[in-house]
Amino acid sequence: MRGTKDRFRTAAALPLLILTASCVPPADTPAPTPPPVASPAPTPAPVPRPSAPVRSDFTFRGVAEQGGVLIGQVPGDTRTLTLDGKAVPVAADGSFLIAFDRDAETGQHLVATLADGRAVERYLAVAAGTWRIEHINAPYRGSAASDAEFERRRPAELAQIAEARRTDHESNGWRQQFRWPVTGRLSGFFGSQRVYQGKPGSYHGGTDVAVPAGTPFVAPADGVVVLAAAAPFTLEGNLLIVDHGMGLNSAFLHCQQLDVKVGDRVAQGQRLGTVGRTGRATGPHMHWGLKWRDARLDPGKLAGPMGN
């Protein structure tokens, strides 16, 4: 009887052992592999931006000719610039202006010295101009009552003009396309030599435009007024000079009235005064003269053909 009970207990426990054993994985079954963790995508390397090419030579706008102007760009890393040994200022963006007198030598030597000490040189062949001879029926002394008075007054006038032209203001007028201050009939031409009642004078340093007295004239480019005559000069009459920057300035002669004063900043196209016949003049006209340093320039080469 007891053996029967033992067999019954053994038989009853057998399914439980089998069920329990089925929940235990075999010893040689590998543990489940966890799912892979995605790694962040690599940050792409920055693409280098191409740098602006460094200029290795000069570039120019304009024509190298007597009475003319060149605006250029220096080679990259330029530290100093000279024209025939004289220093030329260079703007922050590498721009510069040079110009050539009516009687300039036909060859000019431009040198840029770079940061590493090397020099970039250009020989500029300056084209010659052709000039007229004009006979003028007006006294050489202008509005002075006598030659003696002219000799007495003239040095002080020339000193005022020279002092005004030594003044250098920050202005970008030199970069602009110049315009005519007044339009009308051309009555006097740059570079022509004048003979005053039989007495030879110096060449004509500007361009004359004949218009009625009282005609308004305007600024050909931006600038700063550096001279506005308080009284008429013997030759120039009521004289106005405007500095356009980089050593370039305009002079307006024989004016009837001046509407601006020394120190005024003027904008291209702004009214400056009216045309007259003060000083040495045979009739009302605007004499427009341009200078770069000591070089007298042809206004028509900056303003282009006159539009009526």
- As a whole number of angstroms, the distance between CA 272 and CA 217 comes to 6
Q: How confident is the model at residue 136 (pLDDT cuts 50, 70, 90)?
A: confident
Summary mean pLDDT of the chain: 84
> What share of the chain in percent tops pLDDT 70?
80
Q: In this predicted structure, what is the pLDDT of residue 54? A: 64
Q: Which residue has the higher pLDDT, 266 or 197?
A: 266
User: Measuring CA to CA, which residue among 188, 176, 57, 67 is closest to residue 123?
Assistant: 57
H/E/C letters for each residue in the chain? CHHHHHHHHHHHHHHHHHHHHHCCCCCCCCCCCCCCCCCCCCCCCCCCCCCCCCCCCCEEEECCECCCEEEEECCCCEEEEEECCEECCCCCCCEEEEECCCCCCCEEEEEEEECCCCEEEEEEECECCCCCEEEECCCCCCCCCCHHHHHHHHHHHHHHHHHHHHCCCCCCHHHCCCCCCCCCEEEECCCCEEEECCEEEEECCEEEEECCCCCEEECCCCEEEEEECCCCECCCEEEEEEECCCCEEEEEEEEEEECCCCCCEECCCCEEEEEECCCCCCCCEEEEEEEECCEEECHHHHHCCCCC
Residue 124 has pLDDT above 60, yes or no: yes
Angle at 38 between CA 37 and CA 42, to 5 degrees: 140
Per-residue confidence (pLDDT) for residue 169, from 0 to 100: 84
Confidence category of residue 299, pLDDT binned at 50, 70, 90: very high
Q: pTM of the predicted model, to two decimals?
A: 0.76
Q: What count of residues does the chain have?
A: 308
Over the stretch 157-183, which tens digit does the pLDDT of each residue have? 999 999 998 888 889 999 999 999 999
Whether 284 shows a pLDDT value over 90: the answer reads yes
At residue 47, the pLDDT reads 57
Q: What is the pLDDT of residue 13?
A: 43
The whole-number pLDDT of residue 150 equals: 82
Inform me whether the pLDDT recorded for 27 exceeds 50: no
Bridge pairing between strands 265-266 and 206-210: unpaired
Give the per-residue pLDDT at 201: 75
Of the candidate ranges 43-52, 197-206, 219-228, the one whose mean pLDDT is the lowest: 43-52
- The pLDDT assigned to 133 comes to 75
Mean local confidence (pLDDT), 204-222? 97
Q: Tell me how far apart the alpha carbons of residues 140 and 280 are, in angstroms, rounded to a whole number.
A: 8
Section 208-215 average pLDDT: 97
Render pLDDT for 63-82 as a digit per residue (tens, 0 to 9).
999 999 999 999 999 999 99
CB 243 within 8 A of CB 224: yes
Q: In what order do the strands lie in the sheet containing 193-196?
A: 133-136, 193-196, 199-203
Q: What gap in Å lies between CA 105 and CA 94, rounded to an integer?
A: 26
Please report which confidence band the pLDDT of residue 193 belongs to, taking 50, 70 and 90 as the band edges. confident
Least confident of 55-59, 103-107, 138-142, 211-215: 138-142
Q: Which of 1-5, 57-61, 145-149 tops mean pLDDT?
A: 57-61
The answer to whether residues 203 and 191 touch, using CB atoms and an 8 Å cutoff, is yes
The yes-or-no verdict on residue 61 having pLDDT over 80 is: yes
Rounded Cα distance between 201 and 140, Å, is: 7
Residue 145 vs residue 294, higher pLDDT: 294
Answer with the residue of higher pLDDT: 158 or 140.
158
Residues forming beta bridges with residue 243, ordered by sequence position: 224, 249
How is the beta sheet containing 78-83 ordered, strand by strand?
Answer: 86-87, 78-83, 107-114, 119-125
Select from 275, 281, 236 the least CA-distant residue to 257.
Answer: 275
Percent of the chain with pLDDT over 90: 64
